[in-house]
Amino acid sequence: MTAGSKITLRFTGRVSALSRAERDALFDRSTSSDASVRERTAEIVADVRMRGDTALRELAARFDNVNMDSLEVPRAHCAAALDGLEPALRRAMERAARNIVTAHQAFMPSAAECETEPGIVVGRRPDPLGRVGVYAPGGRAAYPSSVLMGALPARVAGVGEVILCSPPERDGAPSPVILAAAAIANVDRVFAVGGAGAIAALAYGTSSVPRVDRIVGPGNAYVAEAKLQVAGAVAIDSPAGPSELLLIADESANPRAIAAELIAQAEHDPRACVVAIVLGDAIARSVIDVLSSTLDEQPRRAIAAEALASNGGVLVADSLDEAIAFSNAYAPEHLLVALDDANAVLPRLRNAGTIFLGARTSVAFGDYMTGGNHVLPTGGLARSYSGLSVLDFIRWTTYQRVSPETAESLARDVSVFAESEGLPGHAYAARVAGGEQ
């Protein structure tokens, strides 16, 4: 692509004119992997489950080109990495950490009791998980923000032990910036283990890596598939796929800002899905023109261009109602509302991983610094899944209490109920609890 050449977008035109095939292509953003990924992942998971640390060391030699003596990274290395961090980056990471903690503390649930009738109390109490595993990608790029987003909510929730796994570099340890983030988040133990093998180790445990109660964090196709395959043995966060952005804008929005947001999410992955729904033909033309003139300036232009050509779009909605209906059906990971009065439409917006209100509320701010979590459902799963929060790191204990007086009256109705279901033992237990001699 030469500077100023016309951008290639898969979806253009009017929302109302989309064909059935085009609409299906927009909405079918399945995160399921292909058969070869599922098969290879299953082999790795089974191997790690059977041979533990031996399998992990072989995987490190094969995929990371490193021979591992110890899989665990001493905590002193994390502290040293933090001390060696460039000061401006350390300030930014520590600011992000403070905001993540503040936001997640505000959403901590509390215990509650109710009296369903006199003498019957039902209560529910949030209890933190005992141990969780956080996965942080490595390899081509390291994401310390993912460490903070996964580990700090667990800390806020009161989790007993936080374990971090991330692929080793040539020195046998994860990226120094990952280790520095682990120190900021006060991670208990760090393991230089990556890919599907790390997920299997966290799910089933090995001689070195302890078994956890939940696994969170993003990763490549093999990591995502491994999480799905071990979900019967351990809880996981929402299934994750390539990054997504849906942007709703009117004529008040700056086309340059819209284009910048589309490029920012498109640079994540060639399979990223980035779509703008705009109210007006003029702004649609302007956004496309800005994309065409600025994409070549981007260091990751090849990745962004491929994403825009494969899954990108600038579509015109005939009305705000049509744009909102499209958004609620599309269920994006990120929804940016660049309207003159974005707050007014918030009550009507549903089915989004997280919503950014106002053109100045960049998705990039949420990716790093606002305190909201960036681990979010993709592939339309925002219809039923929520973004990562403290709720992912607790389980609810329900308890019940019945007074002796109420037990007597309950016994009669419970006995009748149980007998109707053919469970005489239940009826007998109820009558004895009610005081039958």
Nearest to 339 by CA among 275, 280, 266: 280
Asked if 374 is an active-site residue, the reply is no
CA-to-CA distance for 218 and 237, rounded, in angstroms? 9
Choose the catalytic residue: 77, 104, 334, 374. 334
Secondary structure class of 81 (helix, strand, coil): helix
Secondary structure class of 15 (helix, strand, coil): helix
Per 3-state DSSP, the chain is made up of helix, strand and coil in percentages (nearest 5) of 50, 15, 35
Residues 6 or more apart whose CB falls under 8 angstroms from that of 375 comprise: 146, 149, 150, 216, 217, 218, 237, 238, 240, 387, 388
Asked if 334 is an active-site residue, the reply is yes
Question: Residue 273's CB: how many other CB atoms inside 10 A?
Answer: 26
Question: Residue 70's CB: how many other CB atoms inside 10 A?
Answer: 13
Pairing between strand 72-73 and 334-338? unpaired
Written in H, E and C, the secondary structure of 169-208 is CCCCCCCHHHHHHHHHCCCCEEECCCHHHHHHHHHHCCCC
User: Would you tell me the crossing angle of helices 176-184 and 75-83 to the nearest 10 degrees?
Assistant: 100
| 250, 339 contact by CB (below 8 A) | yes
Choose the catalytic residue: 77, 169, 333, 374. 333
User: Between the CA of residue 260 and those of 265, 276, 297, 385, what are the distances in Å?
Assistant: 9, 12, 11, 28
Nearest to 188 by CA among 237, 149, 130: 130
Residue 244 is encoded by which pair of tokens? 């997504």
| 167, 199 contact by CB (below 8 A) | no
Q: Tell me which residues are annotated as active site.
A: 333-334
